[in-house]
Structure formats: C-alpha cells, structure tokens
A and B are shown apart, each in its own frame.
Chain A
C-alpha cells in the first residue's frame, strides 16, 4: 500500500510540474500539430487523393503514437534534472523500492504525455479525420500503454548518462532513425532486409502499430502490421526488460560514483 502511494505521489509531482509550466504545454502541442496539419495534409493532397488510402489518418495515428511514446521517453530526463537540482537525493534516501521510484517516474511522465494525446485527438476532429467514439476510446487506451512503454525506453537510454546535456545529445540519435523505421509517415511493409531487421528491433514501431490497430482495427482497412495482442506481448516483454535493466543500471550509477 505504501509503495503504491509512493508511486502515485512521484507521478503526481511530475504532473503538477507540467500544469505549472505553460511554456512547456504550448511547446509540447506545437510539434505534433505541425506534423499532422502540414505533413499529413500535403501527403493526402499529393498521394492520398489519387489512391484509396486516407493518408491523413495514417499520419495522424503515426504521429499520435510517436508523440506519446517520445514525450514519455524524453520526459524521463527529469530523473537527471532532479539529480542536477539536488532533488534526487531526497527521493533516493527514502525507504521505498528503487523499482517503485523508477516506475513512479515512468507513470508521472506518462501522465504528462497523455494531455498531448488529447490535444492531437482534438486537432484530428478539427481536420475532420473520421473518428468514432469506439476509436476514440481505443486510441486513448492505446496511448496509455504506449506512454508507459516509452517511459521504460527512456530509463534504459539514460540509465548510464551523467547529465541532462548528455541525454539531450543522445536522444535525437536514438529517436530520429525510429521515425522512419517505425513507419510514422511511410509504409514499412516492404523494406530491404537490413532495414527490416532494424525496424523490427525499433521499439517505437510497436507503439505506432498499436495505435494504428486501435484506429483501423474497427474499419475494413488493414494498415497495422501486427494484431494488438502481438504488439502488446512484445511491448510488455520490452517494458519489463527496459524497466528492470534500466533501474539496476541507474541505481548502480547513482551509488557507485
């Protein structure tokens, strides 16, 4: 019970910090809206209208998955920010499990990422992307799973990094290739073998594919690569691996200076 409370209070802190940072809220919303509004619309005008595919919906689901996943992953940099602002010592001197601390941070950054999902969904309605109530609920549930998964990925990336600066330098290298390997804007069904292997080991691919399944799963169109249960199983296994290894490495780096 006390571990659950501790996880909630850790998550609460990150969410409260978001609500009090208006500049961050504006910045968080701008990027995905530009992607969907400009890239999605131009793709639809250039290619989608000539074929039978709704490219605006394709890009919308891709960007939704990528935004939530990436926001949560990069949000974990706050672990390093806490260290630099001398607050992590208050957290790490407490008697709760180190896994609870890391999970609390993942949950907190997931809560921070979800309002962005709501913003993107609202924007999708403005752009008149077809969206039923059932799709809306499926997308929100998928966004919750994707956010948690992204957070765990964030932990493993920054587990051995010493500073926010290092994390901000490393993350673009880890994220940008996945934009294309995960198929946010481009189909990835027929990739050459080396790229196909890289795509299959890109965690973002499964986040985006789960989102596509949530959207297209109730339509006759088949855009997703795997069904939901396969994506969930792969993401679940990766989540456990990232979370356990990430916590171990982060705590070891914190104590064995």
Chain B
C-alpha cells in the first residue's frame, strides 16, 4: 500500500537532512506506527507522503500512485489528521464537514445544510451519532473541547473513504477517556473498512498494538519490525540475582563463566540460556531472583540512547 524509497528532505537553510534516506513498506490494511523522539522527522515524513511537502530526493508511492507525479490521485486516496487541529473555528462542525465533502467532490455545493443532498445529511447524522457529537453538530467549533474536535476531524477525514488514514500524533493533549474513545472508533474503522492506518505517536502503549513499527531518529530508520521483533532484537534478556554472601556469589558466577554486569544485585545475561537452567547451576543461596521482561518502552529507550551516544 505504501512504499517509501530512500526518502530525503532537507529544509531550506538547514544544515542537516530532516529525513535522511528512509525506506520502508506498509501493507494494505495494516496498523503501522512511525515512532521517534521530537525532531526525528515523523511529521516531515507524513507531510511528504500526503503531498503537502516536496521531497528533496527519493520517492514514495501510495497504492501504486507516485506522490510527486500523481499528487492529485494520492490526495484522493489518503485522509489525514494533522498534529494541530485544522478546523475553521468560525464555522460550525457541520460547515467544516460540508467544506471537506464538497472540496473532495463527494457532493455538489449548496449554501446551507438544508439544501445539501439527502445522502449527505444522512451521512452526517449517522457519523455524528456514532461519534456522539450529534447534539453539537450545528454549533461553532470554537465551543468544542479538544476531544470533540479530534472526533470531528476523524469524522471529516473518513468521509471520502480513504485507503490510508494518516494520523500525526492525534492523541497529544487529549484526556484518557477521549483517547480511549478515539482508539475504539479507529479499531472499528479498521474492522469495517480495512483502512490502512499510519500513525505517529509519542505514546508507546499505542504502538504496542501495531502490526509493524518503524522507529526513526535524526531522520534515519533505526529499527523496523513487529513490536515483538523489536523487543527481541534490541532489548537484552537478563535475570537479576543477589545473595547474602555477595563475594561468594560473584566468584561463583565468574567461575561458571556467566556474563554479569553491575551489581549488586548482579545482572546475569541469559545469552540464550533458560533462567531455570542457569539458576540450577548456582549453589550460593540466593536472596533475590528477578526476571526481566522487556517492554517496547525499554526497546525504544535503548534505541534512542544508542543513537545519542
């Protein structure tokens, strides 16, 4: 669905590339997450893929359409929820939706809601009900809370039935209930329409559910894979052990040839051994045994700290 090849972007007057030769692919229907710290190049990548920014070199296709040569076709195939809400505060929620619907050629222009086609009014009513904003749909957007604005943007971005929905840190600034509602709705969208979801986020728990994650830092891809693969590849498996007789334990671990670091407690690298097998060989009475299950957060921190070294 999305193919990115050696994409480079250097902003005018910048000394370094904001995006520095990244390549990855996203399959149709996937939930894909682009993860990275601030300034990693996430928003730049999304801006290029949605055709609002020109790449310096390299390229990308979306559903077979080139983002530079076939920009107009690409725009029909994608929906986007920007990092900062892009709603007109002077218009009502419905007027914002109508603006989008007419701009995308879904319905002919009419100056009022009542004069819009019946199909449009039906679609607006249905979506507003689904997102629980039916009572407020004719109120000015400036009276909406952050959560309601995000819901409205999702409603608007899905009107033209995009093949790929790009979301650039959509939950930033939202409270927990609003975030949960938003994710429930997006999960429903994926289930019913098979829309490919391309997300950038700071929240690692949102990336845990992804089919694939691409971690970028300083404009480069530093890891790519399923959440499980990333954890496996980048986070060491170890067990923490300690004993009342610490010098005895240290000597015994050295004698057994186990790789340790830090301590006490001593960090015992598993290196493919099973925890049970290693512990059976230790005769010093242990007072602490703590296994470590890597999380995506561990992997992410590991990658970012490696990059900054």
- Give the interface of A toward B (CB within 8 A): 1-2, 4-6, 8-10, 12-13, 16-17, 20-21, 85-87, 89-97, 254-257
Contact = CB atoms under 8 A, between A and B. Distances in A.
B105 A96 contact: yes
B82 A96 contact: no
B91 A95 contact: no
Interface stretch (B46-54, B121-129, B169-177): B46-54
B58 interface: no
A156 to B, nearest CB: 21
Contacts of A257: 11-12, 53
A9 B109 contact: yes
Interface residues of B, number: 34
Q: Which label, helix, strand, loop or mixed, suits the secondary structure of the B interface?
A: loop
Interface string B97-128: 01110111101110100000000000000000
A87 B90 CA distance: 11
- Closest 8 pairs (CB-CB, A-B): A2-B105, A5-B109, A9-B102, A95-B75, A8-B109, A90-B86, A94-B103, A255-B54
Contacts of B90: 16-17, 20-21
B6 interface: no
Given A16-B90, A94-B75, A256 B105 contact: no
Contacts of A95: 72-73, 75-76, 104-105
Q: Which of A5, A254, A256 has its CB near the most chain B CB atoms (within 10 A)?
A: A5
Interface string B74-103: 011010101011111111000100111011
B12 A256 contact: yes
A6 B91 contact: no
Contact of B103 (A6, A16, A255): A6
A254 B71 CA distance: 14
Contacts of A93: 50-52, 75, 78, 80
